[in-house]
């Protein structure tokens, strides 16, 4: 509040409460009141004691309203600027997220089609070459497909053990990127996918270029690891963490349970359990987490329904 001070000297009757004015009266240690009420003291209008003295009239000029209006104007401008800045940041963040999702989607589609087509061609040509002589190697074919299923199931248990014993232990400096907000389409944790692809490619190559039962088993093992890796990418990266759209996969009830269970892993409500992916609901059941699992499923369904399709 701005205050203007105006002091003017004007002649005005002043009450001195004494019958005789001495020069030293102005220097007395007891100050007289600056504004003495007129007519409240006896003898004020006594002609003998009446004197005229110069007194101060103090005027205060208030300018609060004008400055308050200016402050309100500045506040409105600042709020408007803040809203514009916030909207710009939100738009920029959404654009960046869309770009990241598109980049990862392209990588996922290319790798999926590439790996799937190579796996189908490898299976076809391998057994076509084996049957060139007219004899069908039933034992080798059965071993190949059996080990394909076994390797895919075994990868779930391997991933659970590695997740707990390695990724959340000695390799946490790499896996930590998966438990923090991601900057960009990729994260350091994606290296584990490449690491798991190395033995799959090696087993497939050995089984593809050699005939016999052992090469057939190696080919089946490599095929099973590949199938698990593709399923893991769609469910874990696509459905759970929404790095790319997965379409009707999100409507499969079992995959909803898998996604909700893995989300509880990131919440750390059960000390990291579940560490597996496809058998995650079973792990939660073992530690008494089914109630939390159902709550997470309901929350994910509501969140999914709010998203425009």
At residue 70, the pLDDT reads 53
What pLDDT is attached to residue 139? Answer: 84
Identity of the highest mean pLDDT range in 6-10, 82-86, 88-92, 296-300? 296-300
Query: Which pLDDT score is estimated for 95?
Result: 72
Report, as an integer, the average pLDDT of 245-264. Answer: 90
Q: Beta-carbon neighbour count of residue 166 at 10 Å?
A: 14
Average pLDDT for residues 173-187, to the nearest whole number? 88
Q: Give yes or no for residue 22 having a pLDDT over 80.
A: no
Greatest mean pLDDT range, 102-111, 127-136, 257-266: 257-266
**Of 63 and 204, the one with more pLDDT:** 204
Mean pLDDT over the full length of the chain:
75
The pLDDT value recorded for residue 292 is 93
Residue 237's nearest CA partner among 229, 299, 295, 163 is 229
For the chain, what percent of residues have pLDDT higher than 90? 35
6 forms bridges with which residues in the sheet?
59
Q: Which of 95, 300, 115, 66 is nearest to 222 (CA)?
A: 115
Distance separating alpha carbons of residues 303 and 294, to the nearest angstrom:
14
- Tell me: pLDDT of 5 over 80: no
**Three-state SS string across 225-269, please?**
HHHHHHHHHHHHHHHHCCCCCCHHHHHCHHHHHHHHHHHHHHHCC
Please state which of the ranges 35-39, 70-74, 128-132, 163-167 shows the lowest mean pLDDT.
35-39
Return the pLDDT at 27: 42
The answer to whether residues 34 and 16 touch, using CB atoms and an 8 Å cutoff, is no
């Amino acid at each position: 509040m701005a205050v203007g001070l105006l002091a003017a000297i004007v002649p005005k009757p002043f009450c001195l409460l004494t019958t005789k004015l001495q020069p030293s009266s102005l220097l007395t240690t007891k100050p007289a009141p600056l504004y003495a009420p007129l007519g409240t003291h006896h003898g004020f209008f006594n002609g003998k004691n009446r004197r005229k003295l110069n007194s101060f009239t103090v005027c205060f000029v208030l300018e609060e309203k004008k400055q308050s209006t200016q402050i309100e104007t500045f506040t409105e401008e600042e709020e408007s600027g803040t809203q514009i800045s916030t909207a710009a940041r939100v738009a920029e963040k959404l654009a960046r997220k869309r770009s990241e999702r598109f980049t990862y989607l392209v990588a996922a589609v290319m790798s999926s089609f590439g790996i799937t087509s190579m796996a189908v061609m490898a299976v076809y040509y391998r057994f076509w070459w084996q049957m060139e002589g007219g004899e069908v190697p039933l034992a080798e074919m059965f071993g190949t497909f059996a080990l394909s299923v076994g390797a895919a199931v075994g990868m779930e248990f391997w991933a659970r053990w590695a997740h707990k014993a390695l990724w959340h232990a000695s390799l946490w400096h790499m896996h930590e990127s998966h438990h923090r907000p991601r900057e960009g389409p990729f994260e350091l944790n994606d290296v584990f996918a490449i690491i798991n692809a190395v033995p799959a490619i090696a087993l497939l190559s050995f089984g593809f270029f050699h005939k016999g039962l052992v090469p057939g088993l190696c080919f089946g093992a490599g095929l099973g690891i590949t199938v698990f890796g593709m399923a893991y990418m769609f469910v874990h990266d696509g459905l759970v963490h929404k790095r790319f759209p997965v379409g009707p996969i999100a409507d499969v009830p079992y995959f909803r349970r898998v996604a909700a269970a893995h989300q509880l892993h990131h919440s750390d409500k059960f000390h990291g359990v579940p560490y597996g992916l496809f058998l995650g609901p079973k792990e939660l059941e073992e530690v008494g987490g089914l109630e939390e699992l159902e709550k997470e499923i309901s929350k994910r369904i509501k969140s999914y329904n709010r998203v425009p399709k």
